[in-house]
Amino acid sequence: MTPRFAIVFFDVDSTLVTIEGIDVLAKGNPEIVRLTEAAMNGEISVDEVYGKRLAIIQPSREEVDALGRRYVESLVAGAEETIATLHRAGVSVHLVTAGLAQAIAPLATHLGIEARRVHAVPVRFAPDGSYRDFERSPLTRSGGKELVVRDIRARTHGKAAFVGDGVTDLETKPAVDLFIGFGGVHTRPRVRDNAAVFVQDSNLTAVLPHLMSDQP
């Protein structure tokens, strides 16, 4: 199989893993779960909820490290095979996520994705490990993923695809050659209705026929 794209971008939460990291950190706080769901469905903007959720949760270094372990244990079926297949074909795989960088890092390592291809939001802790702040990044704002994708594409040659479940992922559609909505964990109606391709399969390998060609 030969790749149709030189670069494939993946969202993380509810795309490569079955969980939403922020909800895990919130330990089921219903207010946080409601804000996340509303943001992913495009009912409220990410700008509005990002800092608000972290300010309520105040995740410690220990909790963020625990989330990193949880991410590795929560891979969507077929996620490892999907990434490995793309890597073997020479595709440059990037993670583009508003997730916390320190929690995403172990997952990226597990999947063989280099740190320079991981685009996430670093969080700062006080010396005692308590939460201090997050680094301001385009990824914490709506339209941020599109900016990050455009920036990478300006430096990298070749066609690109994006795979994601949420409305913030869908925003990258004008910046890539193919946007694939993934509904294996959650089906967001706005994504399903506007994605060029929507994959409704609990196994992520179902995206591969769209990313690879049978032609040698």
Q: Which two tokens stand for residue 125?
A: 């802790």
Distance CA 140, CA 209 (A): 31
Binding of Mg ion by 13 (CB under 5 A): yes
Q: Which stretch binds Mg ion (CB under 5 A): 3-11, 54-62, 141-149, 154-162?
A: 3-11
Q: Which stretch binds Mg ion (CB under 5 A): 15-23, 70-78, 86-94, 155-163?
A: 15-23
Question: Can 13 be counted among the known catalytic residues?
Answer: yes
Judged by CB under 5 A, the residue of 5, 8, 9, 14 near Mg ion is 14
- Complex with Mg ion: residue 3 or 149, whichever CB lies closer: 149
For residue 137, what is the enclosing H or E element?
none
Distance CA 76, CA 63 (A): 22
Q: Which two tokens stand for residue 128?
A: 């005692």
Between CA 76 and CA 65, with CA 203 as vertex, the angle to 5 degrees is 5
- Complex with Mg ion: residue 13 or 171, whichever CB lies closer: 13
Distance CA 161, CA 8 (A): 5
> In the complex, what is the shortest distance from the CB of residue 15 to Mg ion, in angstroms, rounded to a whole number?
5
Cβ neighbours, 10 Å, residue 172: 24
From the list 11, 23, 165, 169, the catalytic residue is 11
Q: Which two tokens stand for residue 174?
A: 């004008």
* Token pair 């079926």 in the structure block, residue: 77
Interface residues for Mg ion in 140-199 (CB under 5 A)? 165-166
Distance CA 215, CA 2 (A): 7
Judged by CB under 5 A, the residue of 11, 23, 146, 171 near Mg ion is 11
> In the complex, what is the shortest distance from the CB of residue 46 to Mg ion, in angstroms, rounded to a whole number?
11
Between CA 186 and CA 91, with CA 81 as vertex, the angle to 5 degrees is 100
Binding of Mg ion by 18 (CB under 5 A): no
Question: Can 11 be counted among the known catalytic residues?
Answer: yes
Total residues binding Mg ion (CB under 5 A): 6
Binding of Mg ion by 59 (CB under 5 A): no
- Complex with Mg ion: residue 3 or 64, whichever CB lies closer: 64
Catalytic positions are 11, 13
**In the complex, which residues of this chain contact Mg ion (CB under 5 A)?**
11, 13-15, 165-166
